[in-house]
Amino acid sequence: MAFSRLVWIAGLVLGACWPLAFAPFDQSYLAIILLVGLFAIADRASPRLAAWTGFTFGLSAFAVGIYWLAIPLHNFAHMDWVLSGTAVLLLAFYCALYPALALWIARKWWPRKGLFALPFVWVLSEWLRAHLFTGFPWLATGYSQTWSILGGWAPLL
């Protein structure tokens, strides 16, 4: 019980730091550090706990990363603040399903090789999030590396 609570809190903290890897902060090294931490936690957890950790990571990452969407929804779409905040929170909930699914699949289908399968499943889940139901590619891992030293390798891959 205490372990699962710590894992959830770690997921929330790692996710809340996730937007710092993107513009305007551009701390691209954080994306790698945060993913290593998340994957290390998921590798030691059951599939169910790994999924909940991925969900808490995704929920806090998207809640912090897209909070500002409530402002244009209020100002330009003339939505009430409560409604615009609820819409952004629902979008964060939806986007949090993809990290949860990635961690659950990696732990459920590859329990012994989860650490090797996780990067592939993570990229697949981000690709699905970017394309499924018209897509929402914001805060994808690759975008954090655009202006880093790794960004120069992208055309070669």
76 C-beta neighbours (distance < 10 Å), count: 8
- In tens, the pLDDT along 23-34 reads 999 899 999 999
pTM, to two decimals: 0.92
Structure tokens at 141: 């891992």
Query: Do residues 66 and 85 lie in contact, with contact meaning Cβ atoms separated by under 8 Å?
Result: no
In total, how many domains does the chain have? 1
154, pLDDT greater than 80 = no
Of the candidates 110, 5, 81, 109, the one whose C-alpha atom is nearest the C-alpha of residue 49 is 5
Give the residue numbers spanning the domain of 109.
2-156
Average pLDDT value for the chain: 92
